[in-house]
Amino acid sequence: MIDDIAAHDRPREKLDRNGAGALGDNELVALVIGHGTAGRSALAVANALLAAAGGVRGLTRIPRAHLARVPGVGVAQASRVQAAVELGRRTMLPEGSERPQFRDPMDLAAYLLPLYGAHPVERFGALLLDKRNRLIATRLWTVGSVDTSPAHPRDVLREALIDGATGVVVFHNHPSGDPRPSPPDVALTARLKAAGHIVGVELLDHVVLADDRYCSMKEMGCL
């Protein structure tokens, strides 16, 4: 129980004394949860939650319903955890109203990973870019199952032509946490490149995202 921990070692007191960086993952989660249950401290609940998620990084992928099933969590606490994760994600987003410009795959990864890198299901989308590789719009087409998110080149290119884009970067995430492209990913890239060449829209890259890692088809020599 929290009451059994020396006062100076309790998460809130440690936060006040040393700052958030001094707290362990379980202590931070315990503070987000706020309280435990009868016979179970907030730290014990936090430990169980992290075990269910597979560690702190797993909190970005695990559905709220799964969090809520952890004993002592429930829907309200699961919502608080997801809100904290989303706040952390948003601190990584670029500021300012000027349209971002992408010069290389690292620029793309820095923009895409906080938004789409860690999700419990696969999502497929595209960045529509002008001739200076500045962002015109982002389109998210499909939200798939745990391991699949089908897309068709005509859907991507139709939106690019409507918005006057001269180039596109397609992206999708791998919920497994492994960003290495699968054979279907490589095949889709080839189809998009060929179709884009016909209509005059260049496929600039296909970026596969996973947590804080990525794979660029351009860097791999697939484009």
- The string of DSSP letters for 164-223 reads T-SEEEEEEE-TTS--PPPHHHHHHHHHHHHHHHHHT-EEEEEEEEETTEEEETTTTT--
- CATH architecture for segment(s) 105-216: 3-Layer(aba) Sandwich (3.40)
Percentage of the chain beyond pLDDT 70 is: 89
In this predicted structure, what is the pLDDT of residue 4? 47
In the chain, what are the domain boundaries? 2-90, 105-216
CATH code for residues 2-90: 1.10.150
- Mean per-residue pLDDT, 72-98: 80
Is pLDDT above 90 for 102? yes
Residue whose C-alpha is closest to residue 35's, from 73, 92, 75: 73
In this predicted structure, what is the pLDDT of residue 82? 86
Is pLDDT above 90 for 87? no
Dihedral sign, Cα of residue 180, residue 118, residue 36, residue 7: positive
Q: CA 71 to CA 49: how far, in whole Å?
A: 8
Is pLDDT above 60 for 67? yes
> Is this prediction's pTM over 0.85?
no
Q: What is the pLDDT of residues 123-165, one digit of tens each?
A: 899 999 999 999 999 998 876 654 455 667 888 999 999 999 9
Three-state DSSP at 86 gives helix
Q: What is the mean pLDDT of the chain?
A: 85
Residue whose C-alpha is closest to residue 77's, from 59, 57, 54: 59
In this predicted structure, what is the pLDDT of residue 146? 47
